[in-house]
């Protein structure tokens, strides 16, 4: 690809989009841990030093990509969750299923989410961290609004708790659902071990259904001095 120096803001935005798109393609082929600036630069056809004109680090690129993926997922979630009749438990179970199914269709988002706290939050400036956290807050609020429209009985506090649990459970479950070759070989060699392999969609669906049912049963207040949004923000 032939890159020329971008002079206008529109050209710079296009360069950033191309960098993000290339990173997304790479993440479809390999985990976050294997993404390098050198390989990213090679695929784009741009010197590494020039990539760093647009993003200060590999982690800054991946954090912005995480925000982009989150925005797209929230849009899909809103479009998929159509109002349905049923008891609060039935609606809660349906909500859990749709969240799990739509997330499972977005492996790039799941991989980035699982690496966010341990990898992506490091090697970035305060400005990049601030921009990411502000975008995260908007995403949390959007998710909570969608959840409340579907299961209004949860209330604002518990809706943000569902958002937090979705982030935490999905982040923990995803790596286990992507076993390396040695683990796959072990499952194939001994079928009795197959039950130990994590099914991401099913695990997340069940965990969220139990979480929603538990929150509805408890309906307890948050600890004094804790804002509902803070619980979810700590998970992103």
Structure tokens at 32: 């976050």
Whether 205 has a pLDDT exceeding 80, the answer reads yes
- Confidence label for 159 from pLDDT (cuts 50, 70 and 90): very high
CATH code of the domain containing 16:
1.10.10
Structure tokens at 125: 């400036």
What integer is the mean pLDDT of 205-212? 97
Q: Convert 19-49 to b/e letters by CB count within 10 Å (16 or more is b).
A: bbebbbebbeeebbeebeeeebbeebebeee
The closest alpha carbon to 31, from 174, 187, 182, 133, belongs to 174
CATH code of the domain containing 214:
1.10.357.10
Same domain, 201 and 185: yes
- Confidence label for 196 from pLDDT (cuts 50, 70 and 90): confident
Query: What pTM was estimated for this model as a whole?
Result: 0.85
Same domain, 178 and 119: yes
Same domain, 63 and 51: no
Same domain, 73 and 162: yes
Same domain, 18 and 68: no
Lowest mean pLDDT segment, chosen from 91-100, 149-158, 221-230: 221-230
Same domain, 99 and 44: no
Same domain, 208 and 102: yes
Same domain, 27 and 64: no
- Confidence label for 9 from pLDDT (cuts 50, 70 and 90): confident
What integer is the mean pLDDT of 95-106? 97
CA distance linking residue 50 with residue 86, whole number of Å: 55
pLDDT at 8: 76
Indicate the number of domains in the chain. Answer: 2
User: What secondary structure, in 3-state letters, does the chain show?
Assistant: CCCCCCCCHHHHHHHHHHHHHHHHHHHCCCCHHHCCHHHHHHHHCCCHHHHHHHCCCHHHHHHHHHHHHHHHHHHHHHHHCCCCCCCHHHHHHHHHHHHHHHHHCCHHHHHHHHHHHHHHCCCCCHHHHHHHHHHHHHHHHHHHHHHHHHCHHHHHHHHHHHHHHHHHHHHHHHHHCCCCHHHHHHHHHCHHHHHHCCCHHHHHHHHHHHHHHHHHHHCCCCCCCCCHHHHHHCCC
What integer is the mean pLDDT of 23-37? 92
- Confidence label for 120 from pLDDT (cuts 50, 70 and 90): very high
Where a domain ends, among 11, 34, 55? Answer: 55
Same domain, 38 and 62: no
Where a domain ends, among 11, 33, 55? Answer: 55
At 161-172, the pLDDT tens digits run: 999 999 999 999
At 58-73, the pLDDT tens digits run: 999 999 999 999 999 9
Question: Following CA atoms 13, 19, 21, 23 in sequence, which dihedral angle do they give, to the nearest 10 degrees?
Answer: -150
Same domain, 108 and 177: yes
What integer is the mean pLDDT of 67-87? 91
Where a domain ends, among 9, 40, 55? Answer: 55
pLDDT at 231: 47
Same domain, 19 and 38: yes
Judged on CB neighbours under 10 Å (0-12, 13-18, 19+), 212 is buried
Same domain, 41 and 92: no
The domain containing residue 126 runs over which residues?
57-233
């Amino acid at each position: 690809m032939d890159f020329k120096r971008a002079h206008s803001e529109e050209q710079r935005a296009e360069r950033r989009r191309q960098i993000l798109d290339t990173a997304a393609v790479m993440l479809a082929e390999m985990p976050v841990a294997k993404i390098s600036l050198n390989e990213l630069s090679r695929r784009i056809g741009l010197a590494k030093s020039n990539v760093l004109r647009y993003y200060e680090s590999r982690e800054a690129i991946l954090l912005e990509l995480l925000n982009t993926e989150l925005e797209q997922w929230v849009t899909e979630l809103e479009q998929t969750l159509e109002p349905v009749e049923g008891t609060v438990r039935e609606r809660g179970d349906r909500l859990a299923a749709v969240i799990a199914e739509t997330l499972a269709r977005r492996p790039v988002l799941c991989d980035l989410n699982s690496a966010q706290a341990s990898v992506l939050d490091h090697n970035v400036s305060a400005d990049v961290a601030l921009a990411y956290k502000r975008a995260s807050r908007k995403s949390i609020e959007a998710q909570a609004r969608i959840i409340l429209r579907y299961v209004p009985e949860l209330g604002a506090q518990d809706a943000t708790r569902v958002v937090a649990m979705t982030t935490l459970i999905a982040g923990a479950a995803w790596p286990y659902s992507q076993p390396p070759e040695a683990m796959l070989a072990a499952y194939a060699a001994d079928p009795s071990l197959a039950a130990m392999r994590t099914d991401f969609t099913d695990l997340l669906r069940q965990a969220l259904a139990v979480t929603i049912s538990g929150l509805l049963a408890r309906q307890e207040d948050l600890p004094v001095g804790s804002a509902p949004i803070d619980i979810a923000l700590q998970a992103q």
